[in-house]
Amino acid sequence: MKSPTLQFDMMYISSYSDDDDEDSSMSMSTGRTMSSMSIPPLTHDIHTPALQDPCSRRSSSSLSMSFFQHAMESDPQSTFSKNTYFMDGGNRFISLPMLGNTNTKAGSSISRIFEEWLANKLYCQPLPSTTMMMETDDEDAYDSDEQDRSIVVDQRLPILQDHVELVAEDILNKMKSSSSSWQRKGLDKIMIKIRTGHVYTYHSLEDGQPLITQDMEELFQQFPLFVECHVYTSSSLPRPPNSTMATTTTTTTTTQLLLEVENVTINPGNPYKIMEEF
Q: Give 43-89 pLDDT, tens digit per residue.
A: 444 444 444 443 344 444 778 899 999 999 999 888 999 999 999 98
Q: Among the ranges 6-20, 160-174, 193-207, which has the highest mean pLDDT value?
A: 160-174
Q: Stretch 248-274: mean pLDDT, rounded?
A: 84
- Mean pLDDT across the stretch 193-219? 77
Q: Indicate the average pLDDT of the chain.
A: 70
Residue 272 bridge partners (DSSP): 261
**Dist. CA 94–CA 85, nearest whole Å:** 5
Domain-wise residue ranges, the chain = 18-33+64-127+152-239+248-277
Question: In this predicted structure, which of 59-63, 89-93, 104-108, 140-144 has the lowest mean pLDDT?
Answer: 140-144
Percent of the chain with pLDDT over 70: 55
pLDDT higher than 50, residue 171: yes
Is the pLDDT at 179 greater than 90, yes or no? no
Task: Output the pLDDT for position 126.
Answer: 58
Amino acid identity at 138: D
Instruction: Determine the average pLDDT of the residues in 206-234.
Output: 81
Winning range, highest mean pLDDT, from 54-58, 250-254, 262-266: 262-266
Which phi-psi region, left, alpha or beta, contains residue 269 (left: φ > 0; alpha: ψ -120 to 50)? left
What DSSP letter does each residue of 78-125 carry, written as one string?
Answer: SEEEEEEEEE-SSS-EEE-GGG----SHHHHHHHHHHHHHHHHHHHHS
Stronger pLDDT, 181 or 11, i.e. the higher one: 181
